[in-house]
Amino acid sequence: MGATDAIYLDNQATTPTDRRVLESMLPLLEAGGVGNPHSQHFAGQQAAEAVERARSQIAELVGAVPEEIVFTSGATEANNIAILGIAGAAGRRGDHVVTCATEHSCVLQTALSLRERGFDVDVLPVDGSGLVDVARLASLITERTALVSVMTANNEIGVLQPISEIATICRSHGIPFHTDAAQAAGKIPIDVVASGVDVMSLSGHKIYAPIGIGALFVAEDCPVRPEPVFRGGSQERGLRPGTVPAHLAVAMGAAAELARRRLGADADHCSRLRARFLEVVMPAFADAFVNGAAAPRLPGSLSLTIPGVDADHLVGALQPRVAISTSAACSSGTIEASHVLRAIGLGERDAKSTVRIGFGRQNTIEQAETAAVLLRDAAEKIRGNAVSSDAAA
């Protein structure tokens, strides 16, 4: 099987750039189209107009107004600006932050780093489905709470948190509420006004734009406006200095527009792919289970545990035919089991028998079926070899 025949099922890590998105950005790289959007000449002004159109497209995807969208290099930078920026703001309420045990590492590590500055950081546990206890979250809020940050959709198990409920609690206390929506945007309906979110992080390469572009939504009525994390210019409302890459901004705008128009169709398609994949795999393993299956989840997200099957060996056995992963791409190379899987109660052995599979717009039913057969057969072989080894020992 060649590279062109390989089946890519790691869409949580990154998505292939949609050809229509690629076509939208190319003119911004060519002679006659290139320009620094902060320059005053005609080329710069053309680029600036293209960036503003993209800003409007992204705002429309999440129900914001364009002035509330700030371009970043990706969701990791957006999360850092949100957390460190609010923690460093002169008008913040206090020195207490609440977040969740299953957050992406760039949120968890950033929040926990505030302890070095004297902040008190509470990390909420989750139940077996990966959901936070909203009542427990409310009980942690004090007069010192400066920020609450809970992701919209988990990057490993796809579980959707009760964002509107959390936002309502935060609003009642006048506390900024931040959510990392990198995995959710473009896959489920998002309305920042209806949900009451104050700050939201977005990623281009999760919605079929290239890697290297993201955005941060900051509501006009956010209780505390983040301070810039680094200095060097007044671009992006003074919150994110540096030259905006017009071609990448345009790509993310085009991707947001496509995602908004295809939201229902993409969700239905990915749900069918996941269901068909499980129909093929699950009958072979009576003890296999889907993590977060009882909670609301993203349509194309699948975290599958097959006890007794080493996930690293399984992923390796599928190369170069099928691309899946064992955990978040940002955790690649780590020895420990996923912190997300540990947080939902999986033991070390089951956590290391778990693979993450992400279905996307470009995948077909035939690919889902083929990948399922390949995974099933490889897992059966690995399990059989393990049983033989144990018997021989």
Active site residues: 330
Residue type for 245, please?
A: P
C-alpha torsion sign, points 153, 310, 363, 273: negative
The overall longest dimension of the chain from CA atoms, in Å, is 76
Residue type for 202, please?
A: L
Are 167 and 177 contacting, i.e. CB atoms less than 8 angstroms apart?
yes
Closest CA to 77 of 278, 259, 228, 270: 228
Reduced to 3 states (helix: H, G, I; strand: E, B; else coil), residue 72 is: strand
- Segments of 115-170 assigned E as strands: 120-124, 145-149
Reduced to 3 states (helix: H, G, I; strand: E, B; else coil), residue 234 is: coil
* Parallel/antiparallel/unpaired status of strands 96-100 and 120-124: parallel
d(CA 296, CA 166): 16
